[in-house]
Amino acid sequence: MYLLIPILIGFNWNGTYQSIYLTKYFSVRSRALGALTSGIAATAADLFWGWFLDIKRFSRPVVARIAWFSFVLVLLALFSWQVANEELYSTIKPKITLDWDNEGFGRAFAVNVLFRYFLFPPFYVHAPSPHPTRFLFLRILTKSTAS
Domain count, the chain: 1
* 61-105 tens-digit pLDDT: 787 788 778 877 888 888 889 889 888 888 888 888 888 888 888
Domain that holds residue 137: 4-146
Phi/psi of residue 131, nearest 5 degrees: -95, 130
| Choice among 12-16, 44-48, 81-85 with the minimum mean pLDDT | 12-16
What is 3-31 written as a DSSP string? Answer: THHHHHHHHHHHHHHHHHHHHHHB-HHHH
Q: What is the pTM of this model?
A: 0.69
Closest residue by Cα to residue 76 from 10, 124, 17, 123: 10
